[in-house]
Structure 1
């Protein structure tokens, strides 16, 4: 009988355990669905406003019990930052009218991993000089796009991997984050980056399009995979521009002032490059490119001749261009200017527009 009692007790314990799991797995629902699908919804139940870790959730925010380390304050019409409990890792403050970050705003928020503050009214002057960004040792994503910042907040933590600060009014930049892999800095007012990127040794994506640059930044990080420089005023490229950027696959430099004279020979004749966009510049010739390039955009230049040698130095069964897309519309050539040998050299091209 003692054995039966023990078995029954064990079965009861298992049953209680399974019922405890049921809310998490019912209908296959991911318990982390709050993170993706329930942001922005408003819940008024008292049980949702008190975190299971014992931290109080501000009345103006939501702290779902199924994802207690997240705090949703997005799109609430806030003008000031709410109090952040110390256990919160994912803080959503975007789409509000927040104008300032007080000195003590993040003192308790040392567990933050994501900090979303995009689409607010922040100014650099209203970010307290004593804000402890550096104390956020686990912060990985910091989104500040679409604010009114004129400089990048100081003392950002080295843990940062993804910084989005585009669509502001930033003129000068300085970085010290050697783990940063993604930097969105486009649509600002940067005129010169000098060697400010030198410390970003892990950077793989750099978008500094739509600024006021007149030259390519010096000492670009060697790990770059994507480089976007569109819509600046760059008229020339440095010697050995891509010499040390062996990982680079995507370059976009549309809407600049590039001329043939400003591009050193063989600049783009490098293996590994997948896409090159030089549209809306002042080129008169097709630059020499590698046979491994797959997508080339040259529309809206002043090109007067279709030079097949730019794509293939030799044409035979084993030697031909891997180009799939070639756009040359908006230049000073027509389809009749394409030599007949192009069908051999550009045999993989599915689209050629002139």
Structure 2
């Protein structure tokens, strides 16, 4: 029962989850479905290790709950109440504070005073345009900050050094200044899509000193792959932008990538040798672009297992476009290649083209229909 109440308090966060492919044909899930319970730790929503269980801690301040809110143990839910400011009388032992879907316009210096144990703060879908430089100073244990769908023109300053996950998409942010992440040494996820960010908006050194696992900058105004993102990235998603080409030096910095999302751009050209910088790549999304041929270098990516190339302008598929030549060359077998929605005469493609694919169900080809 207690876990059910906690799940309800977090229901509004589900649509903000990063894309997690559970099967090759889940093409329609790129906007981020809710994950099953056994994958929730990877999503960063529910802590399953390193923090006390909500059911195991006896609340100290049983009678303290803001008017109109629902409070149970360490969860305070004040969503959908039309609030114009952060409510007072929040129990100091609160671990999750849900303030989404209100009319809050500003975060003041003392709004979160005394909330030293707060683990997750949800401010999604308000009207916040101003954040006091010291608004988050009392939050010594904050790990999750969800402040998407507001009116912010800049990333809030002085983020807590304990922060692991920042979701700030669908705001009005145009610049990522140098030093904005100063004090944060390691993070799991930053989601900043849906902001009018251009390549020039990333100041040199904006991510200096930050070890980051997952970054998504979708639905922005990028015309190329930013060159100064954290080199530690395991996942980078730049879908729904205006990127037109991938040049040789664009990916050199990101050699640890396992998943790269570049779907829904305007990519016409991928320079030969560009993908060789990604020896650990397992999944590549290049769907809904303007490619006229299969990107060069795929056979050399020994760990690559999934390639999305549907909805491009590919007219020919060569016998060695996907698999290495010769015998005894070790590489992982593909378990997914999508080529549908391309003007390829599929009857002319040699069967040996897909010799390093697990089985025919892993390949979606199909005829091209205008």
Which TM-score tier does this pair reach, normalised by the shorter chain?
0.7 to 0.9
- Asked if 2 retains the 8 angstrom alpha-carbon contact of 1:249 and 1:275, the reply is yes
Please give the TM-score of this superposition, normalised by the length of structure 2. Answer: 0.75
Give the one of 301, 306, 320 matched to 1:295.
306
Change (3 A) 1:238 1:317: closer
Q: Does 1:309 align with 2:312?
A: no
Is 1:162 the counterpart of 2:165? The answer is yes
Which region of structure 1 is more displaced relative to structure 2, 189-198 or 169-178?
Answer: 189-198
Structure 1 residues 114 and 320 mapped into 2: Cα distance closer, same or farther (>3 Å)? closer
Q: Distance in 2 between matches of 1:343 and 1:58?
A: 62
Structure 1 position 249 matched with structure 2 position 255:
no
Q: Report the aligned-residue RMSD.
A: 2.5
How far apart in 1 are the matches of 2:62 and 2:316? 72
CA distances 1:181-200 after superposition (whole Å, capped 9, x unpaired): 20011111111224355336
In structure 2, the partner of 1:216 is 225
CA distance in 2, matches of 1:343, 1:165: 41
Partner of residue 342, structure 2 = 331
1: CA distance, partners of 2:209 / 2:86:
30
Q: Distance in 1 between matches of 2:134 and 2:204?
A: 26
**Gapped regions of structure 1 (runs ≥ 5):** 1-28, 41-50
- Provide the secondary structure at the position in 1 that maps to 2:236: strand
SS at match of 2:355: helix
Q: Check the 8 A contact 1:312/1:321 in 2, yes or no.
A: no
Q: Structure 1 stretch 279-288 or stretch 190-199: which is displaced more?
A: 190-199
Ranges of 4+ aligned residues in structure 1 off by more than 6 Å: none
CA 297–32 in structure 1, closer or farther in 2 if over 3 Å, else same: closer
Structure 1 pair 238/136, CA: closer, same or farther in 2 (3 Å)?
farther
Displacement after TM superposition at 1:214 (Å): 1.4
Q: Which runs of 5+ in 2 are unaligned?
A: 12-58
User: Pairwise mapping of residues 18-57 of structure 1 onto structure 2 (< 5 A)?
Assistant: 29=1, 31-37=2-8, 52-53=60-61, 56-57=64-65
- Corresponding residue number in structure 2 for 1:284: 292
Contact persistence 2:322–2:353 (CA under 8 A): no
Mapped contact 1:201–1:221 kept (Cα < 8 A): yes
Name the SS for the 1:96 alignment partner: coil
Distance in 2 between the 1:196 and 1:186 partners? 20
1:58 is aligned to 2:66:
yes
Q: Is the CA contact 1:39–1:72 (under 8 Å) kept in the aligned structure 2?
A: no
CA contact (8 A) 2:207 2:228 kept: yes
